[in-house]
Amino acid sequence: MSSTGSVPDFSTYEGFNLGPILTPFFVGTVISLILSGITILQAWTYFPSKDRTFIQIIAACMIMLDLISTGLISQGTWYYLIPRFGSLLPLQSLVPTLGAECTISVVIIFICQSYFVWQILTVSGQRPYQRVICGVIMVFAVTSFIGGMACSIIMVTDKGNILMNRSYQFAVSAGIAKGASSVTDILATATFCWSLDASKTGVKRTDSIIKRLISYIIQRGIVVTAIQTLFLLLFFLTESHTYWLALHVNVTRLYANTFFAMLNGRDNIRAKAQNTYTMTMAISGDTGGTYNQSFNASAGGQDVFNEDNKRIHVDKVVVVDNV
């Protein structure tokens, strides 16, 4: 008596539903491509620039690293969705390109945070207490960098315990990296705003420029801190899901984008500060007399004249340059 094995009917087989696993990665990649395009536009607006050479070098490295990161993420998405779609086996390990992208992300974050600290020292005039605060900020930045590099190494050496079965070492290093990065951004934002607020001169126009800068910095700080905090919540509260991937693949774009937004926003404010001002001041020799005199902001230290050809020396005009 012979028996024949039953053959499954593949015409009605729908396969595995990989949506819950791959949707965050796919959505994150789409958003990443959009943000990368915005970063390119920001870089196009910035270059060519009259900034110091080392700032332009940092900006050039930022856009190049961002583009490489976008390419690595796109390759990772292709790996899971195209040649191995429908198979659960590839999900047992992380594709190496995502580990490489994590390294780039860590480097970009560290560059942005270090640049922020340099800006604080520039604005504050390197007062002793400011240097202490900046030192504390850099300690957290370095801690975030070390934790992030540890994450990158684990993603490559222990790639089977990242997506489906998260290892303890990976969870700890990711928590240290993102937690320290959030603290760094909060401290840097608060210190920068404090330093700028202390630089107010009492001149309405100058104070208005400083307030606009503070607004830019606060907005940037809120965005990056909110994303890092949300990542931590999703990472530790939804361990059985990959929701955190949607944010992870966009951290690089976020920092690069806000970096160029700050540079371009600063240039716009500087351009407005260079425009012609109208000031009211007392004329030497006149009792209580005032007049309106228009002059260019770059005229600091020069003599200007009113309608009656009376000379007044302009000693100083504050122009936003180092921020």
Is residue 323 in some structural domain? Answer: no
Determine the Cα–Cα distance for residues 78 and 26; give it in Å rounded to an integer: 10
Q: Let me know whether 218 and 179 are in one domain.
A: yes
Q: Let me know whether 260 and 285 are in one domain.
A: no
Is residue 104 in some structural domain? Answer: yes
Domain count, the chain: 2
Q: Provide the pLDDT confidence category of residue 102 given band limits of 50, 70 and 90.
A: very high
Is residue 101 in some structural domain? Answer: yes
Q: Let me know whether 216 and 289 are in one domain.
A: no
pLDDT digits (tens, 9 = 90+) for 127-177: 778 889 999 999 999 999 999 999 999 999 998 888 878 889 999 999 999
pLDDT for 61 equals: 94
pLDDT for 312 equals: 43
pLDDT digits (tens, 9 = 90+) for 3-36: 555 655 555 656 667 777 888 999 999 999 999 9
Helix (H, G, I), strand (E, B) or coil at 265: helix
Residues spanned by the domain of 299: 276-313
Is residue 146 in some structural domain? Answer: yes
pLDDT for 73 equals: 94
Most confident of 82-96, 137-151, 240-254: 137-151
Domain CATH for 220: 1.20.1070
Is residue 120 in some structural domain? Answer: yes
Q: Let me know whether 80 and 27 are in one domain.
A: yes
Q: Let me know whether 131 and 75 are in one domain.
A: yes
> DSSP string of 80-124?
HHTTTTT-SGGGGS--HHHHHHHHHHHHHHHHHHHHHHHHHHHHH
Q: Let me know whether 256 and 182 are in one domain.
A: yes
Is residue 94 in some structural domain? Answer: yes
Q: Let me know whether 99 and 139 are in one domain.
A: yes
* Helices and strands in the chain: count of H runs, count of E runs: 8, 4
Q: Let me know whether 247 and 289 are in one domain.
A: no
Q: What percent of the chain has pLDDT over 90?
A: 44
Q: Let me know whether 83 and 221 are in one domain.
A: yes
Is residue 241 in some structural domain? Answer: yes
Q: Let me know whether 285 and 259 are in one domain.
A: no
- Bond before 48 cis per omega within 30 degrees: yes
pLDDT for 16 equals: 67
Rounded to 5 degrees, φ, ψ at 238 are -130, 60
Q: Let me know whether 208 and 59 are in one domain.
A: yes
Determine the Cα–Cα distance for residues 295 and 313; give it in Å rounded to an integer: 12
Is residue 318 in some structural domain? Answer: no
Rounded to 5 degrees, φ, ψ at 12 are -115, 5
pLDDT for 7 equals: 57
Q: Let me know whether 193 and 292 are in one domain.
A: no
